[in-house]
A and B are shown apart, each in its own frame.
Chain A
Amino acid sequence: MERLIVSTSPHIRSDESVPKIMWTVVISLIPAAIAGCYFFGIRTDGTFSFRPIFVLLGSVGVAVAAEAIILSLRGKGARNALDGSAVITGMLFALVCSCGIPWYIVVLGSFFSIAVGKQMFGGLGYNIWNPALIGRAFALMAWGVEMGKRWPIPLQADALSGATPLDVLKTQEPSVAPYSIWNLFTGNVPGSLGETSALLLLVGGIFLIVRKYVDWRVPLSYIVTAVILCLVIPFKKEMTLPWFNNLSIFEQAGYYAFSGGLFLGAFFMATDMVTSPMTKKGALIFGIGCGILTALIRKLGGYPEGVCYSILLMNTLTPLIDRWTKPKKFGEVKPQPAAAAK
């Protein structure tokens, strides 16, 4: 007689799987990555620099290799490194860094993301913080000048400037917006490899929302909260609204939304399943909390951009948010005060 498999119901599963989800996220990140390679890869004389592509592929390669080595050391099977999650971590780490960083930061940062940010906690599903952001926070602390002061100028590869749009706002407090809204939206501004093109990040993000791999509540509540607070909180007490003389209030809102890493963080990092709350109410709280922290760090903190640390801080709160927003079970009755007194 043939051997039968005995298991509990259900015996038929949906065709969703972890690798499918992860590879879909990788695909949705590709447009923004291509935009970064285009803007920071083209030199003024029209030739193409492969530096952004090397940074991207190097980071992904190191992440997958580190994942495979650690998984095989832990006896979990090196094949699982190809489930796509390490590719996402490697890609995100490259996308949140300037492509002008030295090669050893790419290698060490990507390795740190996987080894300390993810595998140290037990691998996919057990990490508390977003691995790519852990890698970025580590690199920012270890090599502050290389990470925070060397931003490439778009369409002039190999030229490094010292300031992103948010750097300019923080250090010079100009009364006229330094970059046009259209350039900010399409990504034609100095910044990290993948954060500048809000347009293509939006395309990838909407693709994920349509495929239901991302809850729209997190990016929407995050961006709305951060923009409103950025408009309200002044850099200094004596400053008054509007901050920029040449922009209307809506254009200013767009300025705060499209500058810095807000779109990348809101669509691809705050929505990481492992490190964000499970319930819908929790997702709203998480997004609003990220928005508040981002605005506070941007306007009152020491860094020009606060997306990285705001998401890491809210990741820390995720287990607590999950406890607060635990769904009420079907048919549950509120404990009666009289019954409780007895």
Chain B
Amino acid sequence: MGLAQFTNEVVVTKGTSGIVVLTDAKPEIHRACIRCGRCVEACPMELVPSRLSILGEANQIDEAKENDVLDCIECGCCAYVCPSRRPIVQFVKYCKSELRIKEMKEKAKAKEAAQKSA
């Protein structure tokens, strides 16, 4: 899965395998999850993406971690099948980045405490 580019002045590097240009992409307003279970059926990692997207939307990142958000491979199957057009992958990425920030902060704190006691 590639990343969307915000400008057309991005260089093509050796690792670039392809460029996809979509003509009819339009921003979509997502609705609330209707719990249809399509994402649960689609998920190759057998997680519960609907739950992760709700937790990400509500900023409950610790609960998202308990629901194995870190095991998500961000394939996007859940967001493809979602009839409510929820940006599930975006919520998952948000949870992961918040968890990373939290972990870094905790590590820095522990280091500081260790230095103080030493």
Contacts and interface: CB of A to CB of B under 8 A. Distances in A.
A19 to B, nearest CB: 9
Looking at A14, A20, A278, A280, the one whose CB has the most chain B CB atoms below 10 A away is A278
B22 A274 contact: no
Given A279-B40, A329-B45, 11 more contacts: A5-B27, A9-B3, A9-B89, A10-B76, A10-B79, A16-B82, A17-B83, A125-B35, A125-B84, A279-B37, A329-B68
A6 B4 contact: yes
Top 4 nearest A-B pairs by Cβ distance?
A125-B32, A278-B37, A10-B76, A16-B83
Given A4-B6, A10-B79, A279-B37, A326 B85 contact: no
A21 interface: yes
A12 B80 CA distance: 7
B87 A7 contact: yes
Contacts of A334: none
Interface stretch (B11-19, B46-54, B108-116): B46-54
A7 B44 contact: no
A274 B35 contact: yes
Interface in A136-192: none
A145 B46 CA distance: 50
B5 interface: yes
B68 A6 contact: no
Nearest to A318: B35
A122 B25 CA distance: 30
B53 to A, nearest CB: 12
A8 interface: yes
A329 B67 CA distance: 10
B117 interface: no
Contacts of B20: 11
B33 interface: yes
A18 interface: yes
A330 B45 contact: yes
B5 A273 contact: no
Given A273-B36, A278-B37, A279-B40, A8 B8 contact: no
B25 A11 contact: yes
17 contacts: A6-B4, A7-B87, A8-B3, A8-B4, A9-B4, A9-B74, A9-B89, A12-B22, A12-B80, A13-B82, A18-B34, A122-B32, A124-B34, A125-B84, A277-B37, A278-B37, A330-B46
B80 A13 contact: yes
Interface of B: 1-8, 20, 22, 25-28, 31-38, 40-41, 43-48, 50, 68, 71, 74, 76, 79-85, 87, 89-90, 93
Main secondary structure of the interface of A (DSSP, over half): loop
Given A4-B5, A278-B35, A18 B84 contact: yes
Looking at B27, B38, B40, B85, the one whose CB has the most chain A CB atoms below 10 A away is B40
A135 to B, nearest CB: 19
Interface of A: 1, 4-14, 16-18, 20-21, 80, 83, 122-126, 215, 273-274, 276-280, 326-330
Contacts of B41: 280
B37 to A, nearest CB: 4
Given A11-B4, A13-B80, A327 B50 contact: no
A168 B23 CA distance: 64
Contacts of A123: 32
Given A5-B27, A6-B6, A327-B46, A11 B89 contact: no
B83 A9 contact: no
A274 B80 contact: no
Nearest to B41: A280
Contact of B48 (A83, A125, A326): A326
B33 A329 contact: no
A311 to B, nearest CB: 15
Contact of A14 (B36, B46, B80): B80
Looking at B2, B4, B87, the one whose CB has the most chain A CB atoms below 10 A away is B4
B36 A21 contact: yes
A20 B8 CA distance: 36
Contacts of A80: 31
Nearest to B93: A8
B5 to A, nearest CB: 7
Contact of A327 (B5, B6, B48): B48
